Amino acid sequence: MNSTVSVLLFGITRDLTGQSALSIPIQTETRVGDLLDQVRQQYPALAGVRSLLVAVNGEYAEVDQTLTSKDEIALIPPVSGG
């Protein structure tokens, strides 16, 4: 079963892509690591970012976590709050 997830963008990732969310096709059993590979392939501009983490439903996710189309997914570039 193929579907599409929306990936929220913030900070530099939004500026580099010119978008505030990306539509990324995922297959069943797509993992966080696979999503990151796909995002980097589709948006080579993101290579300049020092590190990219993924949040799933508002929590930092490990690379082997499996994604579903119901998840709220976000790319987290290096934070600079405080």
Partner 1 sequence: MIALTTDPIDVASALKYLQSSQAGAIDLFLGVVRDNTQDRPVDRLEYEAYDRMAISEMQKIADEAHQRWSILRYTIIHRKGTLLTGEIAVLIGITTAHRADAFEACRYIIDTIKQTVPIWKKEIFTDGEVWVNAHP
Which residues contribute to the site for partner 1 (CB under 8 A)? 8, 10-12, 15, 48-50, 55, 58-60, 74, 76-82
Residue 36 or 77 having the CB closest to partner 1: 77
Strands (E), the chain: 3-8, 21-26, 53-56, 59-60, 73-76
**Whole-number minimum distance, CB 5 to partner 1, in Å?**
16
At its nearest, how many Å lie between partner 1 and the CB of residue 77? 5
Q: What is the DSSP string of 21-39?
A: EEEEEE-TT-BHHHHHHHH
Residue found by looking up tokens 């505030």 in the block: 20
Q: Least Å distance between CB 66 and partner 1? A: 20
- Quick one: 26 or 61, whose CB is closer to partner 1? 61
Nearer to partner 1, 1 or 48 (CB): 48
The Cα-based distances of 33 to 2, 27, 81, 82 in angstroms read 17, 13, 26, 28
